[in-house]
């Protein structure tokens, strides 16, 4: 992306230093990291980050500011995930763009947006460790003039909400078994908020409690990391009901997981948003939406995707859906799927193994009265169909990466 920095890094790269980065991260996170870390950070000009941020904010504002959309989004939240005292607006928002070349420019194409927490602890430590390991001067992982101190203040305020951190919990299912546990460890180390299995919570009246070092401790705020799709599939029984009038604050609650999601994409109007249609609009026959290239969709077209709205981490996506794939979805569930033009990422990161694609996540947080602030980018690199590990097995210079922003 920035040739002088890219070429200098490629020349200086050694496997030994990459291994040192992994070992340092493992030590800092207090345990193994079970997802692939790319051999390289990615270098971006601040002008590109600013352009991506402008597009992301336009999309978020379109949705949050549209009363008709808000009514539709409220209606899509399943009854079992409706919180009576939930957030009026989301505290955590992620907007994912695939990078593409448009003429002589690099632009973004929306992949997904989600009102759900991301790796705010781990991603900062990854970026800091990468900058130290590779001795990268003149670049910063933080956008908009943020630094480590202001980042920790902003994200910490969003997570803790002014409470004693001991009375705030990061709630998850089996947190010790999740691949995201390095982030949970860093959340406790940086902000004092501990990960707790949702089944270890107890209820007394309107209050929730958990055991903290042998002491029964009141929960005043939940930093929710329970993915509704995981909860539904697990079949576990919760010690409370989200619909209960509990004396607890929720941030990153499951209701916003639905309100700002793949469900939102068909409502967006922006040149960086791929054409996206609810499957329920297709009727009984193969849909015939026109692509941006003017060619109508036909079953099996490899330039289209069939996506379930509320699966996580790319689960259930079908490339080039056939008529049989479409017919297999009951009519009463088709409003929970979209047909979407496939974003063809341009390989823009030059590596010793060839040009590599990059997906960039803009991580926003909101604090009371100050609106959403972009606090950190997160990068996934890949050369497969998607950025996930399963689509990039056996490849080098792919995986999770830090962004380094140059003035």
pLDDT tens across 72-122, in order?
Answer: 999 999 999 999 989 999 999 999 999 999 999 999 999 999 999 999 999
pLDDT for 52 beyond 80:
yes
pLDDT for 126 beyond 60:
yes
Q: Is 212 exposed, middle or buried (0-12, 13-18, 19+ CB in 10 A)?
A: middle
**CA separation for the pair 113, 302 (Å, rounded):** 23
pLDDT at 296: 57
Helix ranges (H only) for 203-295 are 228-234, 254-259
Q: What tens digit of pLDDT does each residue of 3-46 get?
A: 999 999 999 999 999 999 999 999 999 999 999 999 999 999 99
pLDDT for 367 beyond 50:
yes
pLDDT at 299: 77
Q: Give DSSP secondary structure letters for 148-164.
A: HHHHHHHHHHHHHTTS-
State both tokens at 241: 């009901």
Helix axes 15-29, 120-133, angle to 10 degrees: 140
Q: What tens digit of pLDDT does each residue of 160-211 get?
A: 999 999 999 999 999 999 999 999 999 999 999 999 999 999 999 999 999 9
pLDDT at 344: 87
pLDDT for 287 beyond 60:
no
Identify whether the C-beta of residue 219 lies closer than 8 Å to the C-beta of residue 251.
no
pLDDT at 313: 58
Q: Could you tell me which of 175, 228, 167 has the C-alpha nearest to residue 198?
A: 175
pLDDT for 290 beyond 60:
no
Q: How far is CA 41 from the centre of its chain?
A: 18
Sheet-wide strand order for 399-401: 105-114, 92-102, 357-367, 371-382, 399-401
**Phi, psi angle pair for 103, to nearest 5°:** 65, -125
- Mean pLDDT over each residue of the chain, to the nearest integer: 91
pLDDT at 301: 80
**CA separation for the pair 204, 62 (Å, rounded):** 41
pLDDT band for 297, please (50, 70, 90 cuts): low
pTM: 0.92
Identify whether the C-beta of residue 260 lies closer than 8 Å to the C-beta of residue 73.
yes
**Phi, psi angle pair for 18, to nearest 5°:** -65, -40
pLDDT band for 407, please (50, 70, 90 cuts): confident
State both tokens at 180: 């995201």
Q: What tens digit of pLDDT does each residue of 201-230 get?
A: 999 999 999 999 999 999 999 999 999 988
pLDDT at 389: 55
- Average pLDDT on 283-310 reads 62
pLDDT band for 372, please (50, 70, 90 cuts): very high
pLDDT at 292: 40
pLDDT at 93: 97
Identify whether the C-beta of residue 122 lies closer than 8 Å to the C-beta of residue 183.
yes
pLDDT at 148: 97
Q: What tens digit of pLDDT does each residue of 229-271 get?
A: 889 888 899 999 999 999 999 999 999 999 999 999 999 999 9
Helix ranges (H only) for 192-289 are 228-234, 254-259
Residues β-bridged to residue 194? 169
**CA separation for the pair 66, 72 (Å, rounded):** 10
pLDDT band for 288, please (50, 70, 90 cuts): very low
Q: In this structure, how many other beta carbons lie within 10 angstroms of the beta carbon of residue 191?
A: 21
pLDDT band for 342, please (50, 70, 90 cuts): confident
pLDDT at 312: 62
pLDDT at 343: 84
pLDDT at 294: 42
pLDDT at 234: 87
**CA separation for the pair 257, 295 (Å, rounded):** 33
**CA separation for the pair 344, 348 (Å, rounded):** 12
Burial 219-256 (b: 16+ CB within 10 A, else e): bbbbbbbbbbbbbeeeeeeeeeebeeebebbbbbbbbb
């Amino acid at each position: 992306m920035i040739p002088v920095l890219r070429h200098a890094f490629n020349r200086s790269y050694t496997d030994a230093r990459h291994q040192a980065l992994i070992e340092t991260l493992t030590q800092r996170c207090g345990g193994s990291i079970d997802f692939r870390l790319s051999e390289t950070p990615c270098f971006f000009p601040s002008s590109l980050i600013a352009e991506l941020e402008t597009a992301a904010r336009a999309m978020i504002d379109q949705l949050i500011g549209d009363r008709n959309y808000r009514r539709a989004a409220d209606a899509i939240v399943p009854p079992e995930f409706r919180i009576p005292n939930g957030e009026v607006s989301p505290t955590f928002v992620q907007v994912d763009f695939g990078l593409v070349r448009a003429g002589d420019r690099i632009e973004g194409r929306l992949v997904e947006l989600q009102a759900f927490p991301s790796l705010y602890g781990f991603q900062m430590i990854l970026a800091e460790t990468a900058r130290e390991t590779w001795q990268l001067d003149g670049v910063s992982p933080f956008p908009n003039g943020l630094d480590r101190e202001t980042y920790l203040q902003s994200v910490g305020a969003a997570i803790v909400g002014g409470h004693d951190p001991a009375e705030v919990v990061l709630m998850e299912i089996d947190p010790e078994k999740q691949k995201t546990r390095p982030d949970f460890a860093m959340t406790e180390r940086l902000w004092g908020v501990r990960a707790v299995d949702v089944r270890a919570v107890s209820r007394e009246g309107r209050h929730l409690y958990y055991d903290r070092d042998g002491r029964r401790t009141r929960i005043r705020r939940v930093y929710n990391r329970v993915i509704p799709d995981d909860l539904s599939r697990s079949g576990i029984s919760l010690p409370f009901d989200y619909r209960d009038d509990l004396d607890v604050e929720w941030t990153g609650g499951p209701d916003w997981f639905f309100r700002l999601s793949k469900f939102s994409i068909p409502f967006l109007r922006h040149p960086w948003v791929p054409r996206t249609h609810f499957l329920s609009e297709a009727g009984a026959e193969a849909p015939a939406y026109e692509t941006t290239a003017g060619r109508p969709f036909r079953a099996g077209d490899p330039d289209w995707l069939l996506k379930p709205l509320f699966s996580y981490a790319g689960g259930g996506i079908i490339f080039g859906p056939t008529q049989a794939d479409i017919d297999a979805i009951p009519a009463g569930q088709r409003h929970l799927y979209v047909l979407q033009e496939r974003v063809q990422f341009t390989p823009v990161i030059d590596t010793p193994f060839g040009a590599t694609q990059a997906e960039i996540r803009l991580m926003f947080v909101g604090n009371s009265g100050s609106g959403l602030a972009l606090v950190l980018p997160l990068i996934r690199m890949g050369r497969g169909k998607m950025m996930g590990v399963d689509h990039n097995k056996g490849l080098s210079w792919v995986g999770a990466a830090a962004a380094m922003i140059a003035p």
